[in-house]
Structure 1
């Protein structure tokens, strides 16, 4: 299952300007954060809690930032009549 982290990315840029600065505030590397935002590695519960704190996001909004499923785009082919 893939998650859509676009709102999380937006909040990171809004609060910290870059993913690099945010990764440093989080205490990790930009590479690891990138892997997590691209769905290659999962966020831990502790990281999610810390991220919500750093971004001043209410814990009631956790689903919006971490558990929105990514919608797959399906290419439709047009068939001639």
Structure 2
């Protein structure tokens, strides 16, 4: 789950529908990606980071490290 991305969406008042349109994917695909059921492509991660004015690491990597530390990658 990408809690940082969810937080940024709330801060910027961006819906999943709006972000999905930017990424040129369906809302259901975006939902799967946000909730960790599917991975963002490098291109998608770069688009998201550019849109929010953050680095890819700030949005995606920190949450991944937290998952590893909590053992959810077993």
Give aligned pairs, total: 67
Return the alpha-carbon distance in structure 2 between the equivalents of residues 18 and 50 of structure 1: 16
Q: CA RMSD in A?
A: 2.0
Residue deviations 1:29-77 (CA, integer Å, cap 9, x gap): 11011101111111111111111111122x3xx22311123264xxxxx
Are 1:31 and 2:25 counterparts? Answer: no
TM-score of the two chains, using structure 2 as the length reference: 0.72
Aligned counterparts of 2:59 and 2:53: Cα–Cα separation in 1: 12
Match in the other structure for 1:56? 53
- Using the size of structure 1 for normalisation, the TM-score is 0.67
CA apart distance, 1:17: 2.9
Could you list the runs of 5+ residues in structure 2 that have no partner in the other structure?
none
Say whether the 8 Å CA contact 1:8–1:65 is kept in structure 2: yes
Larger radius of gyration: 1
Alignment partner of 1:67 is 2:61: yes
Q: Larger relative CO (CA 8 A, sep 6+): 1 or 2? A: 1
Q: Show structure 1 runs of 5+ residues with no match.
A: 73-81
1:11 pairs with 2:8: yes
